[in-house]
Structure 1
Amino acid sequence: MTLTHEVIGERLREARKNVQLSQEAAAMALGLDRTALVKIEKGTRTVTGVELHQLAKLYRRDPAEFLVDQPLQEDPLITLGRIKGNASLEWSKGVAHNVEMLKQAVWLRDALGDPVSALPPTYQLPVPRSYEEAVAQGKEIAVLERERLKLGAGPIPDVANLISSQGIWTAAVPFPDEVSGLFIAHEKYGLAIFVHQRHARVRRRFSYAHEYAHALVDRHRREPEATSTHNKNDFIEKRANAFASELLIPAAGVYESLERMHKGRPSRASAWIWDAAANEAVHHEVRHDSTAQRISVHNVALLAHEYAVSYDVAAIRLKDIDAINKNQLGTLLEQRNQGKQLLQALKMLEHSSNEEQEEQPYLVRQLVMLGIEAFRRDVISAGRFREVCELVSIPYEELMPVAIASKED
């Protein structure tokens, strides 16, 4: 393709439309008259280097994308900015900031010449045709992942950190209320998982695990689709939910926890042993106090705390493994407020959204570490490192001494 002013203008017009900006809004952001931008997009006016850089930043693009021989390709990360096509201003700014951090992290990784991290395996599974098949598939791959990652049956302290260790970018963004998460696979950026930053910690943990299931099974879907109330009944979403439940609170771990609590045993238990003296089998029946065996609200609360899941997820998981019946589940769910009060009183993991609004620093950490390493190896200048600090909203004065110390090692 011959690179002409008309071609560059057309690419700029396409990029502007991808981020749903009007010509008037784009021109105003650059301090130009709308007629000037119209001429640039038509190719009748040359775009200056400064204007090209400003427009690229506004459209969340690399300036070089407009100057290469290849046609402009839509950036799948733009999907983040137009879920359902009605993003708020706050949502758009939050998304743009996280997209920019991700792009800078990828740029630094490539500039350092670091090899792309090994990605988790892809599980080749057919699209589930029923709810039962979806649940069975989700549980199966969760068990396999726990085995591969050598997690045993214990809790996962930081699921987002675990996912990051698998070469997947993770970040929390201000999604619309109906959206909980999004997984994206891209040739340039790799794999990325985004979750709703305003959700309670336990819900974010579940969303990270849910989207991780998509990374393992649905990596080759043609178009990324957010997890939301609009597609919650799709079987692949049910599969991801089953995966998240088994990954975060595995059946084997629940059984072990109940055994430690001396809960969930039948009221009558039979034991058969071999009698060496009589040379025959002997049957013994043991009776347990049925009230002592009953799983109560405080047991569910402690289980939720142990595995860092919500009270409801813990209760439903108990029904899922048949430790309680449907009526017991209904009763326990009605008692959720009492369970949460117990966790608050004991200063354990609180599941309400009020105190769980802390920052999600995973992408920030990755970007800062890459920036320090790039400065240490003279890949970027002090001025470029300052830009990284500004992007992650950490004072340059706090990080520069660390970067200098690393350089002097």
Structure 2
Amino acid sequence: MEIGARVAKARAERGVTQAQLAASIGMDRTALAKIESGSRRVAVVELVAIARELRHRVEWFVDETPPALASYRGAQANVAVQVIDTELDSLVRDAEFVTSRCPELVEGQPEPLPHPATAEEAEELATSARRLLGLELSQPAHEFSRLAASVGLLVFAVDLGEGADAGTVLLRHGGVALVNGHWRVGRRRLAAAHELGHYLVADQFSLDWRVAASEAQGIEARLDRFARALLLPGEDLRERWTNWLIASDETWRDAAVRATSHYGVDMATLARRLLEVGLVDTHCADNIRRVHTKQADIVEKNLVVRDELAPVALPRPYERAVLKLYRHEVITADRALGLLRGSFDQDSLPDLPPIPESEIWEVTS
């Protein structure tokens, strides 16, 4: 019955009818209906055909749902999160498979830190996080996926369209964060930093629709504050902002353009942070939100353009682990390409050594 329910769910997600799916795999519609209702067993060959047509791996239909996702679905059944839920489910299964064979991927997971109850505690959490990530006071948090992987959080970016910003699942060891690659780089990085906050305080599952979209209080607002403090450390921002405005004799617009490039954030995040640390008033913050960096700014100020977490983006340590499994022939090429989620093709995989002739004769004799 569980397999049948998953077939029905996957079919509905693909937007096809029973008749359409049955015809595509050469099955009678009534037989498919009985499979979905649990009144008929499904043969392995049939399940493989169904999985291929619905673009799921076979294990998705037969393996248990990761505990964190199962718990979340039970509590939030009324929330329409189908796209990110499905993508997270797939990522979690892949990550658990890879980390079970390459446990070094998540060896850096720290002990859970306390949930921040105030804005001040959110700032302290950011300071602790920067220390865990090995960042110096004045060092910007670039290559965020690499930094997060150093503490056991695997950050992936997939284009989810006009959906949720991000979600995080805590694994048995380590964690998986999914960032919506549909948005611009500053928003993607802010969402990734926010998810790191959920991970560090050991939230089993989190789903964030709009990171930093409101002034609402609660744990989400405090983790928004944490994310801004992580990406824009207050003391360093004060010093640089003053230098950009005074030492270089530039305008506040010039300083804002330099700041967003240096820290890798968007104008809205910068404006909020400048307000938090008391460097601008509300009127100036509103003006900063409306600033757009131009091509002329990039050339004249010699700015570095980064596009972190552009979809499809996978953590580099995860990619190396998958290639290691492929080199050691633990997984096939097809499995490796699936785990790499389309970011590689067959020709991009490493060459495997030829099988010695003696081994060939052992197999064929």
| Structure-2-length-normalised TM-score | 0.76
Structure 2 residue 364 is matched with structure 1 residue 374: no
- Aligned to 2:182, the other structure's residue is in SS state coil
- Residues 179-230 of structure 1: per-residue CA shift (max 9 Å, x gap): 211112244x851111111211111111100111111225145xx4333389
Identify the match of residue 137 of structure 1 among 116, 121, 129: 121
Identify which of 148, 152, 155 aligns with 1:170. 155
Distance 1:109 1:331 in 2: 46
1:238 maps to which of 212, 218, 221: 221
Match of residue 359 from structure 2: none
Kindly report which structure 2 residues correspond to 1:9-408, keeping only aligned pairs within 5 A, or say none: 10-19=1-10, 21=12, 23-24=18-19, 26-28=21-23, 30-42=25-37, 44-55=39-50, 58=54, 60=56, 63=59, 66=62, 76=69, 84-85=79-80, 100=90, 103-111=93-101, 116-125=106-115, 128=117, 133=118, 135-153=119-137, 154-187=139-172, 190-217=174-201, 219-220=203-204, 224-228=206-210, 232=214, 233=216, 235-261=218-244, 263=246, 296-334=252-290, 336-337=291-292, 339-340=293-294, 342-346=296-300, 348-349=303-304, 358-363=310-315, 365-381=316-332, 384-385=335-336, 391-401=341-351, 403-404=352-353
Relative to structure 1, is the Cα distance of residues 251 and 325 closer, same or farther in structure 2, using a 3 angstrom cutoff?
A: same
Q: In structure 2, do the counterparts of structure 1 residues 28 and 368 end up closer, same or farther at CA, with 3 Å as the change threshold?
A: farther
Query: CA 1:226 to 1:378, structure 2 compared with 1: closer, same or farther past 3 Å?
Result: same
> Does the CA contact (< 8 Å) of 1:374 and 1:380 recur in 2?
yes
CA-to-partner distance for each residue in 1:61-94, whole Å, 9 max, x for gaps? 6549748xxx877782997xx995386xxx68xx
Letter in 2 for 1:327: H
SS in 2 for 1:195: strand
**Do the aligned residues in 2 keep the contact of 1:23 with 1:34 (CA within 8 Å)?**
yes
Return the alpha-carbon distance in structure 2 between the equivalents of residues 376 and 31 of structure 1.
Answer: 37
C-alpha displacement of 1:102: 5.1
2-side partners of 1:83 and 1:176: how far apart? 21
Q: Is the 8 A contact 1:199 1:357 kept in 2?
A: no
Query: 1:178, 1:193 → 2: CA distance?
Result: 15
Task: Indicate conservation of the 8 Å contact 2:66/2:93, yes or no.
Answer: no
- Paired residues of 1:198 and 1:357 also in contact (CA < 8 A): no
Query: Does the CA-based 8 Å contact 1:124-1:217 persist in structure 2?
Result: yes
Give, as a single letter, the amino acid of the residue that structure 2 aligns with 1:208: A
- Give the Cα separation in 2 of the matches to 1:150 and 1:319: 27
Retained in 1: the 8 A contact 2:212–2:224?
no
**CA-to-partner distance for each residue in 1:257-301, whole Å, 9 max, x for gaps?**
13544639xxxxxxxxxxxxxxxxxxxxxxxxxxx9886211121
Matched with 1:4 is none
Deviation of the 1:120 alpha carbon: 3.2
- Aligned-residue Cα RMSD (Å) equals 4.0
* Contact persistence 2:166–2:192 (CA under 8 A): yes
Task: Report the AA paired with residue 2 of structure 2.
Answer: R
CA distance in 1, matches of 2:107, 2:193: 19
User: Structure 1: any 5+ residue segments left out of the alignment?
Assistant: 1-9, 265-291
Could you tell me whether the CA contact under 8 Å between 1:118 and 1:167 is conserved in 2? yes
Aligned to 1:3: none
Query: C-alpha deviations, 1:311-348, integer Å up to 9, x for none?
Result: 332233222211223333344445x13x5465344362
Offset, 1:371: 2.9
The amino acid across from 2:109 in the alignment is L
Q: Identity of aligned pairs, percent? A: 21
CA contact (8 A) 1:304 1:314 kept: yes
What is the rounded CA distance, in whole Å, between the counterparts of 1:357 and 1:214 in structure 2? 18
Conserved in 2, the CA contact under 8 Å of 1:142 and 1:247?
A: yes
Amino acid at match of 2:187: R
Question: How many residues get paired?
Answer: 342
> What is the aligned partner in structure 2 of residue 268 from structure 1?
none
One-letter amino acid matched to 2:303: M
Partner SS for 1:362? coil
Once residues 142 and 190 of structure 2 are traced to their aligned partners in structure 1, the CA distance between those partners, rounded to angstroms, is: 13
Identify if the C-alpha distance between structure 1 residues 200 and 37 changes in structure 2 by more than 3 Å, giving closer, same or farther. Answer: same
Shift in Å, 1:26? 5.0
Asked if 2 retains the 8 angstrom alpha-carbon contact of 1:170 and 1:192, the reply is yes
User: Displacement of 1:112 after TM fit?
Assistant: 5.3
Contact 2:34 2:40 in 1 (8 A): yes
**Residue 17 of structure 1, CA deviation:** 4.8
**Secondary structure of the structure 1 residue equivalent to 2:280:** coil
Q: Is the 8 A contact 2:275 2:285 kept in 1?
A: yes
Question: 1:64 & 1:204 partners in 2: Cα distance?
Answer: 28
Distance in 1 separating the partners of 2:289 and 2:102? 51
What amino acid sits opposite 1:343 in the alignment? D
1:191 and 1:242 map into 2 onto residues whose CA distance is: 21
Cα deviation per residue 1:385-407 (whole Å; 9 max; x = unaligned)? 56657x43523223232x549xx
Structure 2 residue runs without a partner (length 5+): 355-365
